Chain A
Amino acid sequence: ELQLVESGGGLVQPGGSLRLSCAASGFTFSSYEMKWVRQAPGKGLEWVSHISSSGSNIYADSVKGRFTISRDNAKNSVYLLMNNLRAEDTAVYYCARDQRYSYGLRAFDIWGQGTMVTVSS
């Protein structure tokens, strides 16, 4: 079964750090680009970060310089290290697989259930 399972969320004080993990199973993890997407309470989905199969990465402007995405293909896992957290980072964080279809089409086809991050004093 294709599956992504996030972990590592919790309550953290402003300015603190947290590391999220996403464990993949049921597919050849090393062949896929991976994403982190978040949803703040009462808000819509927001893309956070992307990592290619080779490890190159990009970030949304809202987290650039504070968040670092990484992956360990031997452990079939992708990570999100979040530093200098702010109240506005409070959200459910989802990891997702980037599927490449024929003719250059692409979309996020597999998603985890999410892990909640709360930034509050």
Chain B
Amino acid sequence: EIVLTQSPGTLSLSPGERATLSCRASQSMSSNYLAWYQHKPGQAPRLLIYGASSRATGIPDRFSGSGSGTDFTLTISRLEPEDFAVYYCQQYVSSPPGYTFGQGTKLEIK
């Protein structure tokens, strides 16, 4: 079973700063199945990145994803007030079939 570990648990930054969020897999995995989501309280989660680096429809280009193997990164180049939320990475594995989320990184206003 692949475990996804996100770091840091909480990231305190100011609007305009750059945010770098990490997602580490316990074993090498296909980047095809690595996605990032943004989740705000009381709202539906929102897909940001799929395939480790492809932006979903309507996602601003300040969001970018990178990585391969066991180490993946979500970068927000310049934080806007609406970006403060919890971010999850997620992967699919085929054997045994299933999906796993990381524990989340809370991005809070400093």
Contacts and interface: CB of A to CB of B under 8 A. Distances in A.
Contacts of A37: 45
A114 B101 CA distance: 17
B50 A106 contact: yes
Interface stretch (A13-21, A44-52, A81-89): A44-52
Chain A: interface residue count, which band? 20 to 34
Contacts of A94: 44-45
A99 B50 CA distance: 10
Nearest to A61: B98
Contacts, number: 69
Interface of B: 32-33, 35, 37, 39, 43-47, 50-51, 54, 56-57, 86, 88, 90, 92, 97-104
A82 B35 CA distance: 28
Contacts of B35: 107-108
A107 B47 contact: yes
Contacts of B43: 113
Contacts of A99: 50
A101 B44 contact: no
5 closest cross-chain pairs (CB), A and B: A107-B50, A105-B51, A47-B99, A107-B35, A111-B44
A108 B100 contact: no
A104 B32 contact: yes
A9 interface: no
A105 B30 CA distance: 10
Contact of A101 (B51, B98, B102): B51
Interface string A42-66: 0011110010000000101000000
B32 A103 contact: yes
Given A58-B97, A106-B32, A114-B44, A44 B88 contact: yes
